[in-house]
Amino acid sequence: MIIKPSVKSLNKATVDVPEKVALIGFDNTSISKEVSPTLTSVAQPIGKIVKQSIQIIIDKINQKQKTKNKKQRRNI
C-alpha cells in the first residue's frame, strides 16, 4: 500500500522511476498497474503458505504428543 505514495513522492522530487530507482511489490495487487510506470510485482501463494504452516504446526503438536506418550509408557 505504500507503493503509490512512494512513486508520487519520487516523481515530485524528479527522480526517474525506474531509471534511477527500482520499485518491486511483493503482494501482486492491482495498484502496481495503476501507477506510472507500471511496477513489477511478485505474487505470493498465500493460501499455500498458510496450508503448509498449519501442517507444520500440526506435525509439531503430534510429534510432541508422541514423545509425551512414549515417556509416559516408560514410566509405567
pLDDT given for residue 39 in this prediction: 78
Angle at 44 (CA atoms; ends 38, 8), nearest 5 degrees:
30
pLDDT digits (tens, 9 = 90+) for 10-61: 889 999 888 888 888 777 777 767 777 777 888 889 899 999 999 999 999 9
* pTM for the whole structure: 0.50
Cis check for the bond before 5: say yes or no (omega within 30 of 0).
Answer: no
Tell me how far apart the terminal alpha carbons of the chain are, to the nearest angstrom.
Answer: 58
pLDDT given for residue 1 in this prediction: 65
pLDDT given for residue 5 in this prediction: 82
